[in-house]
């Protein structure tokens, strides 16, 4: 007999925000490379993996801050799409446990209305003090060397998990996965761990697994069911069927 579904864990990636106009990372037209004008006017191409590291932040803070300033500014031009809104509706109406874990640093899930939400890779609209760990909401450009409101050190940095750093809230995520009846992955290529391994943890604990993605992901083989197509269409349909 199929297991009754009460506890749901949902993982989202850049693909859920694609239809809102936020570029993905690894697909065609994504932010695989970032271009900046150098002082001699010649554009430089930087691999995202070279910009989003603690080493890059230490060596070239102005480059790293400009990359995130540009992405933070872009948030004003985009809004939640039907997939974000459907997940917020599920959050509001689902009677059991539910945890939405996003790898995205945009704020479209919360603007869509989701509340049971974890940003495991950080948030564009937050600044983190590298000296004392204080966090504050940040809406505008963040110049390197900005001072922390609590300790006064010139150590505010984007509150983003860089390559090589530990994602946030892993204990809470592991706990939710261990009691999940259903794990759903939406719009992620399955290329970045530990998120890419959540499906295996959920399966180990006996959860049903569903992937909703435009293209086959690196982890598609781990899912019991895969649905191919745009999240803006498939996610509302899945939520409707779950709540019916
Ligand atoms: P990727 O860019 O790696 O993958 C996006 C996935 O979304 C691809 O598999 C696409 O097929 C799919 N996709 C694109 N448009 C879609 C749509 N309209 N509907 C459904 N699916 C769609 O993005 P992530 O998997 O999120 O880390 O990348 C994971 C992490 O790598 C990011 O969080 C970021 C990056 O380095 C940090 O910033 C720490």
Residue 64 belongs to domain with CATH number: 3.30.1600.10
Low-confidence ranges of the chain (pLDDT < 70): 1-2, 27-46
The rounded Å distance from CA 40 to ligand 1 centre is 34
**What is the domain extent for residue 171?**
8-21+79-121+166-243
Whole-number pLDDT of residue 220: 96
135 and 229 co-located in one domain = no
Give the number of domains in the chain: 2
97 and 200 co-located in one domain = yes
The residue whose two tokens read 């649905």 is: 227
Q: What is the dihedral of CA 203, 208, 213, 218, to 10 degrees?
A: 20
Domain assignment of residue 3, yes or no: no
Q: Which of 26, 81, 219 to mutate to test the pocket of ligand 1 (most atoms within 8 A of CB)?
A: 26
The rounded Å distance from CA 17 to ligand 1 centre is 9
41 and 113 co-located in one domain = no
The DSSP output letter for 48 is: H
Q: What is this structure's pTM?
A: 0.94
Q: Is the CB of 102 under 6 A from ligand 1?
A: no
Q: Which of 33, 56, 189 to mutate to test the pocket of ligand 1 (most atoms within 8 A of CB)?
A: 189
31 and 116 co-located in one domain = no
Domain boundary among 160, 177, 212: 160
Residue 200 token pair: 């295996």
Look up the CATH number of the domain holding residue 103. 3.40.50.1220
- Sign, Cα dihedral of 25, 26, 29, 34: positive
Q: Is the CB of 20 under 6 A from ligand 1?
A: no
- CA distance linking residue 149 with residue 133, whole number of Å: 11
The rounded Å distance from CA 51 to ligand 1 centre is 17
114 and 172 co-located in one domain = yes
The full DSSP string for 113-175 is T--SEEETTEEEEEEEETTT--EEE--S---TTPPPTTT--S-EEEEE--TTSPPTTHHHHHH
Half-sphere exposure (CA, 13 Å, Cβ side) for 45? Answer: 4
| Count of other CB atoms within 10 angstroms of residue 65 | 20
- CA distance linking residue 14 with residue 27, whole number of Å: 10
Domain assignment of residue 50, yes or no: yes
Whole-number pLDDT of residue 52: 84
The rounded Å distance from CA 33 to ligand 1 centre is 14
Domain assignment of residue 232, yes or no: yes
Cβ–Cβ under 8 Å, residues 141 and 111: no
37 and 131 co-located in one domain = yes
221 and 116 co-located in one domain = yes
Catalytic residue among 65, 84, 109, 121: 121
For helices 82-93 and 231-243, give the axis angle rounded to 10 degrees. Answer: 20
Q: Is the CB of 189 under 6 A from ligand 1?
A: yes
- CA distance linking residue 155 with residue 135, whole number of Å: 11
Pairing of strands 208-213, 225-228: parallel
Give SS3 for 1. coil
Whole-number pLDDT of residue 47: 72
Whole-number pLDDT of residue 73: 95
Which of 53, 241, 67, 121 lies closest to 227, judged by CA? 241
178 and 194 co-located in one domain = yes
70 and 171 co-located in one domain = no
Is residue 121 among the annotated active site residues?
A: yes
CB under 8 Å to 40, separation ≥6 — which residues?
Answer: none
Q: Which of 12, 14, 170, 173 to mutate to test the pocket of ligand 1 (most atoms within 8 A of CB)?
A: 14
Q: What is the dihedral of CA 192, 51, 167, 17, to 10 degrees?
A: -70
H helices within the chain, ranges in order? 15-18, 48-51, 54-59, 61-74, 82-93, 108-112, 170-178, 198-204, 231-243
Whole-number pLDDT of residue 24: 86
Q: Is the CB of 80 under 6 A from ligand 1?
A: no
Cβ–Cβ under 8 Å, residues 45 and 35: yes
């Amino acid at each position: 007999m199929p297991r009754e579904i009460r506890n749901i864990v949902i993982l989202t990636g850049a693909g859920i925000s694609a239809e809102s106009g936020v570029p993905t990372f690894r697909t065609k037209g994504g932010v695989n490379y970032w271009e900046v004008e150098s002082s001699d006017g010649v554009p430089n191409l930087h691999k995202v993996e070279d910009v989003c590291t603690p080493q890059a932040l230490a060596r070239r803070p102005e480059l790293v801050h400009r990359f995130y300033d540009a992405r933070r500014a872009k948030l004003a031009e985009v809004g939640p799409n039907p997939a974000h809104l459907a997940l917020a509706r599920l959050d509001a109406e689902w009677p059991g446990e539910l945890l939405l874990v996003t790898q995205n640093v945009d704020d479209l899930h919360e603007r869509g209305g989701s509340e049971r939400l974890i940003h495991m890779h950080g948030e564009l609209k937050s600044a983190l003090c590298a000296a004392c760990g204080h966090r504050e909401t940040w809406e505008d450009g963040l110049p390197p060397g900005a001072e922390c409101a609590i300790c006064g050190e010139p150590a505010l940095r984007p509150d983003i998990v860089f390559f090589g750093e530990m994602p946030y809230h892993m204990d809470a995520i592991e706990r939710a996965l261990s009691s999940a009846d259903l794990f759903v992955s939406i719009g992620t290529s399955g290329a970045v761990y530990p998120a890419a391994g959540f499906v295996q943890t959920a399966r180990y604990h006996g959860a049903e697994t569903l992937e909703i993605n435009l293209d086959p992901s690196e982890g598609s083989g781990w899912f019991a069911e895969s649905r191919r197509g745009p999240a803006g269409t498939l996610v509302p349909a899945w939520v409707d069927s779950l709540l019916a």
